[in-house]
Amino acid sequence: MRTIEMIDGVVKMIDQRKLPRQFEIVECRDYRALADAIKDMTIRGAPAIGAAAAFGLALAARESRAPTRDALLRDLDAAEKILRATRPTAVNLMWALDRMMRAARATNLDADGLRDFVVAEAQQIAEEDVAINRAMARNGAALINDGDSVLTHCNAGPLATVDVGTALGVIIEAHKQGKKIHVFVDETRPRLQGARLTAWELMQHGVPMTLIADNASGYYMRRGKIQKCFVGSDRVAANGDVANKIGTYKTAVVARENGIPFYAVMPTSTIDLTLANGDLIEIEERDAREVTHIEGVPIAPEGVRVGNPAFDVTPHKYITALVTERGVVVPPFAENLRKITG
Ligand code: MRU
């Protein structure tokens, strides 16, 4: 099934907290439950939480008993605020909410018409995400040569989107095209999205891979075992700085040191031209328990002070190119991002 879908008024999503041990579907019947699912990372990954937020508004529209269009818009505004506050870094969430509210306000429909419209717009965002990911996969796969070994960080696969994926979509597409590739997967502490999700997805697709501790990537790069790096992104600033899962920056610096191209893959909805550079991107700080515990088991002394930024920013000078559904963007990013986003 898809990572997330809405069927007969119920939003169903794969519970990403339980993989790979259990494959479970969570059902959200109201927008507050959906907001909680984004917060607790039942669903995660930039495009996936964008689609989830859109479905959240669809649920809010169906829940609302507002008799008039204006009253319904007020209910949607209230739900939008709660959904917007779930996670701060991935701009796809805000992008989807902005698009939904703009589209809703632009109609002249009565309350019932508007309810149906909001549900249809959310479905449209989810459908578009799949098509966009397919286009990114094709554009990015052209950068991978037969025989390449590539490194990826975090999870940028089908689970991080509605389907197909960003960086992992590119890698899976190259494999499908018959290229003999090998993938090094960073485990991605603290939440282990690489070990739990990316490794699982690659094995489902039969892509040859090696799971490594995050600390090991420099070792393999220096020994010439990795030819390219592909990561996703949660937000790209106007100058091409890339926010992505914590550890991406360190990986990009080591890649540069070793002359290895570093590609970030994202839909154009991840590009935020309102921010001049990556230092302006809000970085989510998450619960200390993600660092002090693994699967509920403590691995650090009780009461230890912890820092847990969920993302970091890779300055654009370390990025070889940005792969989008509209094509591959090369430096100078400030100029070329404006061109590609129209
Ligand atoms: O905290 P997460 O798991 O939502 O972080 C996800 C990532 O950092 C991904 O690499 C990113 O969303 C881009 S790929 C869709």
Domain with 201 in it? 138-340
Which ligand 1 atom is the nearest neighbour of the CA of 284?
A: 1
Q: Report the alpha-carbon distance of residue 268 to residue 266 in Å, rounded.
A: 6
CA of 47 to the centre of ligand 1 (A): 9
Mutate to test the pocket of ligand 1, among 136, 233, 291, 308 (most ligand atoms within 8 A of CB): 233
Going by the DSSP 8-state scheme, the letter that residue 309 receives in this structure is B
Residues 315 and 287 in one domain: yes
Residue 234 is a catalytic residue: yes
3-state secondary structure of 258: coil
Which ligand 1 atom is the nearest neighbour of the CA of 44?
A: 4
Q: What is the pLDDT along the chain (342 residues), one digit of tens a residue?
A: 899 999 999 999 999 999 999 999 999 999 999 999 999 999 999 999 999 999 999 999 999 999 999 999 999 999 999 999 999 999 999 999 999 999 999 999 999 999 999 999 999 999 999 999 999 999 999 999 999 999 999 999 999 999 999 999 999 999 999 999 999 999 999 999 999 999 999 999 999 999 999 999 999 999 999 999 999 999 999 999 999 999 999 999 999 999 999 999 999 999 999 999 999 999 999 999 999 999 899 999 999 999 999 999 999 999 999 999 999 999 999 999 999 998
Q: Evaluate the omega torsion of the peptide bond into residue 190 and state whether it is cis, within 30 degrees of 0.
A: yes
Q: Report the alpha-carbon distance of residue 144 to residue 263 in Å, rounded.
A: 11
How many other CB atoms are found less than 10 A from the CB of residue 65? 8
Residues 100 and 223 in one domain: no
pTM of the model: 0.97
CA distances from 333 to 277, 321, 323 (A): 11, 9, 12
Residues 23, 204: contact at Cβ < 8 Å?
Answer: no
Residues 142 and 130 in one domain: no
Q: How wide is the angle at C-alpha 200 spanned by C-alphas 199 and 204, nearest 5°?
A: 115
The H-or-E segment that residue 248 falls in is: helix 248-257
Residues 126 and 159 in one domain: no
Provide the sign of the torsion angle of the four alpha carbons 320, 326, 327, 330, taken in this order: negative
Residues 118 and 46 in one domain: yes
Residues 266, 272: contact at Cβ < 8 Å?
Answer: no
Burial of 303 (0-12, 13-18, 19+ CB in 10 A): exposed
Q: Is the CB of 247 under 6 A from ligand 1?
A: no
Which ligand 1 atom is the nearest neighbour of the CA of 156?
A: 14
Helix/strand/coil percent split, the chain, to 5: 45, 20, 35
CA of 233 to the centre of ligand 1 (A): 7
Residues 92 and 172 in one domain: no
Residues 172 and 56 in one domain: no
- At 23 the pLDDT is 98
Q: Report the alpha-carbon distance of residue 294 to residue 303 in Å, rounded.
A: 16
- Check which CATH number belongs to the domain holding 24 and give it: 1.20.120.420
* Angle between helical axes of 46-63 and 31-39 (0-180°, round to 10): 160
Residues 148 and 277 in one domain: yes
Which ligand 1 atom is the nearest neighbour of the CA of 165?
A: 15
Residues 301 and 323 in one domain: yes
Phi and psi, residue 29, nearest 5°: -110, -10
Number of structural domains (the chain) is: 2
Domain boundary among 80, 110, 134: 134
Domain boundary among 134, 150, 178: 134
Largest Cα separation within the chain, whole Å, is 67
Tokens for 315? 């300055």
Q: Is the CB of 160 under 6 A from ligand 1?
A: yes
Domain boundary among 119, 134, 149: 134
Tokens for 14? 């794969």
Residues 15 and 70 in one domain: yes
Q: Is the CB of 252 under 6 A from ligand 1?
A: no
Q: Is the CB of 244 under 6 A from ligand 1?
A: yes
- Check which CATH number belongs to the domain holding 162 and give it: 3.40.50.10470
Q: Report the alpha-carbon distance of residue 15 to residue 22 in Å, rounded.
A: 9
CA of 105 to the centre of ligand 1 (A): 30
- At 204 the pLDDT is 97
